[in-house]
Amino acid sequence: MTRRLQRGFFLKPTLDVSKALIGKFLIHEYKGQKLGGMIVETEAYIGKKDKAAHSYRGRRTPRTEVEYGAGGHVYIYMVYGMHYQLNFVTAGKEEPECVLIRALEPVAGIETMKKLRKTRDLNNLTNGPGKLCQALHLDKTLYGADLCARDSKLYIEDRGVKVGSREIKKGPRIGIDYAGPYWARVHWRFWLDRSWSRVYTFTKVESL
DNA sequence: TGTCCGATATCCT
DNA sequence: GGATATCGGACAT
């Protein structure tokens, strides 16, 4: 049984949504072909109080605007001038919270994704937030897109994969040292322990 | 208008 | 493990 996630899925506490997304399938229909895979790593950004979030203390700019709207919309932006980062808006209106998608296990359209990524290495295809955007051809044009719209080219599927809570590991988020020791340490990153993504994860943790 | 620097990836040694 | 590519948002001037 496969079904697309509907609005209600995203209108919940952001940490819950971050964990619930593990094991779901992110699909982008690009040039008539499905590209995507199973979500295996996420991070929560809980606006207002979270110093690591773009919407810290309610910062509201053209970039963060979509975070103040309804859950289930896409917040995507560029970092370091060359990588995109895919996020989903969560929680209620006026609460600027979101989930960053950090890694997938590639499942659909693998050959096309290899071309987009210019690599033959399956283990290097979607194991990072910038990499998965390149593999699925996600860019600024998707800013504000509605994952729950009937005609959306980007959506999340529940394909019936069961993930036990014990299989979900958690740890500090990546690359946010600027947020100070407290926010850099909260365990708001989640990953599927059975996935190869743990290799990526553990490497990064060692370097913290 | 100008400056700073980031929720990274890659290539090199 | 270290350098560096390369854009544009945020905020100060």
Q: How confident is the model over A119-160, as pLDDT tens digits? A: 988 889 999 999 999 999 999 999 999 999 999 999 999 999
Class level of CATH domain A3-206: alpha beta
Average pLDDT, integer, range A64-76: 95
Asked whether A71 and A101 are in contact (CB, 8 A), the reply is: no
pLDDT of A94: 81
Assess whether A60 (CB) lies less than 7 A from strand C: no
Instruction: For chain A, give the mean pLDDT.
Output: 89
Asked whether A136 and A35 are in contact (CB, 8 A), the reply is: yes
pLDDT of A196: 53
Length A82 CA → B11 C1' (Å): 15
Nucleotides of B under 7 A from a protein CB: 5-10
Assess whether A81 (CB) lies less than 7 A from strand C: yes
Is the pLDDT score of A205 beyond 50? no
Average pLDDT, integer, range A2-25: 96
C-alpha–C-alpha distance, residues A78 and A60, integer Å: 17
- Give the nucleotide at minimum CA-to-C1' distance from A117: B9
Assess whether A141 (CB) lies less than 7 A from strand C: no
